């Protein structure tokens, strides 16, 4: 499964970078979101994948035989939440930027 | 020594405050500092103290750093000059700068400069030498640019700083290389490694670096051009810079490094040829100059050339002659500069051709002092300059090689020096063209130049008083030196005849130049002048800087992002292919149909997001991508991630939709070229990431953390969900930080939503 996911992460990064270099603001923010997602998946794949066996302790107090690594999952959870904070903030900032008269492209900000 | 240097610096810091209290008398107050140092050094000298004296404060022995000062004959000579002339300069400046603007600042920097200069000649550790070296560059920059409202002063200050800072860099390289070769960072110990250094393969680079440093400081060809411009400084500064400090620092370095790097054929050729070129060029340029300060500046360059040549030749006579000439030059040059300042004040012009008629009648005192100094300058008995000149001629007559060339060069220089004597006395005081309109100034201003001029005469009549000092200094330059005695009269020898010839020729050249107005046709050399090259480089640097800033700082977000991405791509890509290479783990090829379909859904949704021109459909397809990813998390044993991801994806899309109606409807498209370029960057990044992941997952991961959490999460933290336990127990501080970030973001969003300009106006 790592093979498939590696390709998927590559695709997500490519799409994210392409959008990040866009002149249009909506696409730019979408690019940021996609790159965030891709990074999360990257860490996840790098931590190896174990299908379906979640890192839960069984009823008898012992771990299951082969389970997914909890460390990258914990890392990604933190990253996702912080990423959400950034996305929300970026969206509001850009919205405020468009409230400025005469600004309707990102490039106008340079003037 | 540490105490005296430190006290100078502390005094310098106090100057502005003292200036408020004492006003114009500040100069006399400050002059107490150099005179007490002078007396202290003189006391050392007379008392028969055994030199060298060394004081050091350990700082960091691992890096060979210490604050060390070293007083031997050479340092003593320079220290006496700096403090002695410094004292007179303060007295002179007290009159000259009376009621001038920004006096507090001026005296502060002058004091700092003096402190730096004293530190430079006394410092013994390579780092302290470098620091003092740069301090003299910076303080002289401030002194030259003192009249900062004038463009020419600012230009000259820049030029001086850049040229001497270039030398500072060369010195840094030279000293570091020396340190690498010898592992010795104390200058006074370096002469023990003379053989090791001179036979090392790095000898030539070290020699070049040290020589370039000293050349820039001492205004040797081709770095001479900053010195004539440096006369933009107030006259007391010029007098001080030219006679005892700054430019002498380079000479000090040649003397100091003679026993360390000298004595080789490379040293002789480099120093004596550059010195020879500089002294002839300087003498001729001085003769052509009309501005009296410029004339003196060029003659300084010439005199420095003589000293460089002397230390380059490195014979016993040469070193002795060079040492004696340092003193002679300091005395007459400070006098002449101070007199130039006085004449400028009284006549209102610096141009000799604009001096009033028969000035000698109006200013007899000035005429007398100028005569005293100029006669010493031209090397005429019984002045101290004569003693030095005899020794110099002796030196070239007995030079180890190419004696005839050196004799010719020395003769040409002395001929022009004699001609300059007539310019300074006859042309300045007897010719004259304008009606006199003299301003009155306080007679006290004559004290300092009179003292230096008379000292020159006294030393000329009784040169033997300096024998000890100069012999001591020379023995520090050349270890085999046997002490010599100075005498005014050496008898009718070759040197004396040469001296006579130079006087005759000099006089005839001067009187010839009054009748015939010949000009050297050197116009074709103009673009090759070092100063023109400097201008070209300086302007080029600024133009290049502007161009580069325009290109790099475009102000467009996507350009910055692009540069960042390209750098990541190139650096990571290079390292990856160079160190790791492509590896694929074939075991990971087991793919279920269900997963493949998920992958395809992501692919289609991504493509739609990329190429749609409608905002809302881009958002919808983005949410499809998000949902597909969270299903992947679910499938891969991460239900917590799946839930969180789904939630966050939904929230982001919701916020997006909420503000979407406020954004412009029209979606901008990429230009075709941009599309291809960005496509390449995007595909490259994606490909690299995929390959890196392939490589990472090639070997199985053996995580000890996984076992640790499996064992401890239930027993230690009483939780069955390991991810949860990590977040709220084992790594709870991380989570706290995360909550803080989220809270700050929420506050920011809240503030931005509620902020409008209208509210502010209310």
Whether A108 contacts chain B with CB within 8 A: no
Q: What share of chain A is helix, strand, coil (3-state, %, to 5)?
A: 70, 0, 30
Q: Is the peptide bond before B52 cis (omega within 30 degrees of 0)?
A: yes
* Strand spans (E) along B215-293: none
B520, pLDDT greater than 60: no
Whether A34 contacts chain B with CB within 8 A: yes
Residue appearing with tokens 């100057």: B15
Chain B residues whose beta carbon lies within 8 Å of the beta carbon of residue A99: 662, 756
**pLDDT tens, B397-418?**
887 777 788 888 888 888 888 8
CA distance B254 to B396: 18
How many alpha carbons fall within 13 Å on the CB side of residue B689?
29
**Given an 8 Å threshold on Cβ–Cβ distance, is B742 in contact with A82?**
yes
Read off φ and ψ for residue B103, nearest 5 degrees: -65, -40
**pLDDT tens, B499-508?**
888 888 888 8
CA distance B205 to B188: 21
Of the candidates B630, B674, B673, which has an alpha carbon nearest to the alpha carbon of residue B649?
B630
What single DSSP character describes residue B553? -
B50 neighbors B475 (Cβ within 8 angstroms): no
Residue numbers of chain A with a pLDDT score lower than 50 = none
CA distance B564 to chain A (A): 11
B433, pLDDT greater than 70: no
**Given an 8 Å threshold on Cβ–Cβ distance, is A34 in contact with B609?**
yes
Among B134-143, B435-444, B503-512, B688-697, where is mean pLDDT lowest?
Answer: B435-444
Contacts of residue B393, defined as CB under 8 A and 6 or more positions apart, other chains included, come to: B407, B410, B414, B494, B495, B498, B499
pLDDT value of residue B528: 64
**Given an 8 Å threshold on Cβ–Cβ distance, is B555 in contact with A4?**
no
pLDDT value of residue B352: 76
CA distance B523 to B519: 10
Whether A103 contacts chain B with CB within 8 A: no
- Report the mean per-residue pLDDT for chain B: 83
Q: Which of B590, B669, B706 to mutate to test the interface with A (most CBs of A within 10 A)?
A: B706
pLDDT value of residue B756: 64
B643 neighbors A51 (Cβ within 8 angstroms): no
Beta-carbon pairs below 8 A across chains A and B: 285
In this structure, how many other beta carbons lie within 10 angstroms of the beta carbon of residue B354?
Answer: 14
CA distance B307 to B214: 12
Chain A residues whose beta carbon lies within 8 Å of the beta carbon of residue B618: 26-27, 30
**Given an 8 Å threshold on Cβ–Cβ distance, is A84 in contact with B648?**
yes
**pLDDT tens, B682-713?**
999 999 999 988 888 888 777 788 888 878 88
Chain B residues whose beta carbon lies within 8 Å of the beta carbon of residue A27: 618, 667
B533, pLDDT greater than 60: yes
CA distance B363 to B360: 5
B759, pLDDT greater than 50: no
pLDDT value of residue B432: 66
Greater model confidence, B135 or B490: B135
Chain A residues whose beta carbon lies within 8 Å of the beta carbon of residue B637: 49-55, 67-68
**Given an 8 Å threshold on Cβ–Cβ distance, is A17 in contact with B636?**
no
How many alpha carbons fall within 13 Å on the CB side of residue B563?
9
**pLDDT tens, B709-740?**
878 888 887 888 888 888 888 888 988 999 99
How many alpha carbons fall within 13 Å on the CB side of residue B572?
16
Q: Where are the alpha helices (DSSP H) in B577-670?
A: 593-611, 615-635, 639-660
pLDDT value of residue B525: 59
What separation in angstroms does the CA of B713 have from each of A47, A61, A65, B114, B710? 19, 10, 16, 71, 6
Per-residue buried b or exposed e for B149-174, using 16+ beta carbons within 10 Å of the residue's own CB:
eeeebebbbbbbbbbbbbbbebbbbb
CA distance A90 to A20: 13
B761, pLDDT greater than 50: no
Chain A residues whose beta carbon lies within 8 Å of the beta carbon of residue B709: 55, 70-71
Chain A residues whose beta carbon lies within 8 Å of the beta carbon of residue B557: 28, 106
pLDDT value of residue A14: 92
pLDDT value of residue B762: 40
What separation in angstroms does the CA of B627 have from each of B477, B601, B619, B650? 83, 10, 12, 9
pLDDT value of residue B760: 43
B434, pLDDT greater than 70: no
B314 neighbors B258 (Cβ within 8 angstroms): yes
């Amino acid at each position: 499964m790592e093979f498939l996911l590696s390709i998927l992460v590559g695709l997500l990064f490519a799409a994210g970078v392409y959008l990040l270099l866009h002149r249009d603001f909506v696409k730019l923010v979408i690019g940021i979101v996609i790159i965030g997602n891709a990074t999360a998946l990257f860490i996840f794949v790098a931590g190896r994948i174990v299908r379906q066996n979640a890192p839960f302790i069984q009823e008898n107090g012992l771990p299951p035989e082969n389970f997914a690594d909890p460390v990258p999952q914990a890392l990604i959870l933190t990253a996702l939440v912080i990423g959400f904070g950034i996305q929300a903030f970026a969206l509001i900032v850009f919205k405020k930027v468009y409230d400025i008269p005469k600004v309707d492209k990102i490039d106008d900000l340079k003037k | 020594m540490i105490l005296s240097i430190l006290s100078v610096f502390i005094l310098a810091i106090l100057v502005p405050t003292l200036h408020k209290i004492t006003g114009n008398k500040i100069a006399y107050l400050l002059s107490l500092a150099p005179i007490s140092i002078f007396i202290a050094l003189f006391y050392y000298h007379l008392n028969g103290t055994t030199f060298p004296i060394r004081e050091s404060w350990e700082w960091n022995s691992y890096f060979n750093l210490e604050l060390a000062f070293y007083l031997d004959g050479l340092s003593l000579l320079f220290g006496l000059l700096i403090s002695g002339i410094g004292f007179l300069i303060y007295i002179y400046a007290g009159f000259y700068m009376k009621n001038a603007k920004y006096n507090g600042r001026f005296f502060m920097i002058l004091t700092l400069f003096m402190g730096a200069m004293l530190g430079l000649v006394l410092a013994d550790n390579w780092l302290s030498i470098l620091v003092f070296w740069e301090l003299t560059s910076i303080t002289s920059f401030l002194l030259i640019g003192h009249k900062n409202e004038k463009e020419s002063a600012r230009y000259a200050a820049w030029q001086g700083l850049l040229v001497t800072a270039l030398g500072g860099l060369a010195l840094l390289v030279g000293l570091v290389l020396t340190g690498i070769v010898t592992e010795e960072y104390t200058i006074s110990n370096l002469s023990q490694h003379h053989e090791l250094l001179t036979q090392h393969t790095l000898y030539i680079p070290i020699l070049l670096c040290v020589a370039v440093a000293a050349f820039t400081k001492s205004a040797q060809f081709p770095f001479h051009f900053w010195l004539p411009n440096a006369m933009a400084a107030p006259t007391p500064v010029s007098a001080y810079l030219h006679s005892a400090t700054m430019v002498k620092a380079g000479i000090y370095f040649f003397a100091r490094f003679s026993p360390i790097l000298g004595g080789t054929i490379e040293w002789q050729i480099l120093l004596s040829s550059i010195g020879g070129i500089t002294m002839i060029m300087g003498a001729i340029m001085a003769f052509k100059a009309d501005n009296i300060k410029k004339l003196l500046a060029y003659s300084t360059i010439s005199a420095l050339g003589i000293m460089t040549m002397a230390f380059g030749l490195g014979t016993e006579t040469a070193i002795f002659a060079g040492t004696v000439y340092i003193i002679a030059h300091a005395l007459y040059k400070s006098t002449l500069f101070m007199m130039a300042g006085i004449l400028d004040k009284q006549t209102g012009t610096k141009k000799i051709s604009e001096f009033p008629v028969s000035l000698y009648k109006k200013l007899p005192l000035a005429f007398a002092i100028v005569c005293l100094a100029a006669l010493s300058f031209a090397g005429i008995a019984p002045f101290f300059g004569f003693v030095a000149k005899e020794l110099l001629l002796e030196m070239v007559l007995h030079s180890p090689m190419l004696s005839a060339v050196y004799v010719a060069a020395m003769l040409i220089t002395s001929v022009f020096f004699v001609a300059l004597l007539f310019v300074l006395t006859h042309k300045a005081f007897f010719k004259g063209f304008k009606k006199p309109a003299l301003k009155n100034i306080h007679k006290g201003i004559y004290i300092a130049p009179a003292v230096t001029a008379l000292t020159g005469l006294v030393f000329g009549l009784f040169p033997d008083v300096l024998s000890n000092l100069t012999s001591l200094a020379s023995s520090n330059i050349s270890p085999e030196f046997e002490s010599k005695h100075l005498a005014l009269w050496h008898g009718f020898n070759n040197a004396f005849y040469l001296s006579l010839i130079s006087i005759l020729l000099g006089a005839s050249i001067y009187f010839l130049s009054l009748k015939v107005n010949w000009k050297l046709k050197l116009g074709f050399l103009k673009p090759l002048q070092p100063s023109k090259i400097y201008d070209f480089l300086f302007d080029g640097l600024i133009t290049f800087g502007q161009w580069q800033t325009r290109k790099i700082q475009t102000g467009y977000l996507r350009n910055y992002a692009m540069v960042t991405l390209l750098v990541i791509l190139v650096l990571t890509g290079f390292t990856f292919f160079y160190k790791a290479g492509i590896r694929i783990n074939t075991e990971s090829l087991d793919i279920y149909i269900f997963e493949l379909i998920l992958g395809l859904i992501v692919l289609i949704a991504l493509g739609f997001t990329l190429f749609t021109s409608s905002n809302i459909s881009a958002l919808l397809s983005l949410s499809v991508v998000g949902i597909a990813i969270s299903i992947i998390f679910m499938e891969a044993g991460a239900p917590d991630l799946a839930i969180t991801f789904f939630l966050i994806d939904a929230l982001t899309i919701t916020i997006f939709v909420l503000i979407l109606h406020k954004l412009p409807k029209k979606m901008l498209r990429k230009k075709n070229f941009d599309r291809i370029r960005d496509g390449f960057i995007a595909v490259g990044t994606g490909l690299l990431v995929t390959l890196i992941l392939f490589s990472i997952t090639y070997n199985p991961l053996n995580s000890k953390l996984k076992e640790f959490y499996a064992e401890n999460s239930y027993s230690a933290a009483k939780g069955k969900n390991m991810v949860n336990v990590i977040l709220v127990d084992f790594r709870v501080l991380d989570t706290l930080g995360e909550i803080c970030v989220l809270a700050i973001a929420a506050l920011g969003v809240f503030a931005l939503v509620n902020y409008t300009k209208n509210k502010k106006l209310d």
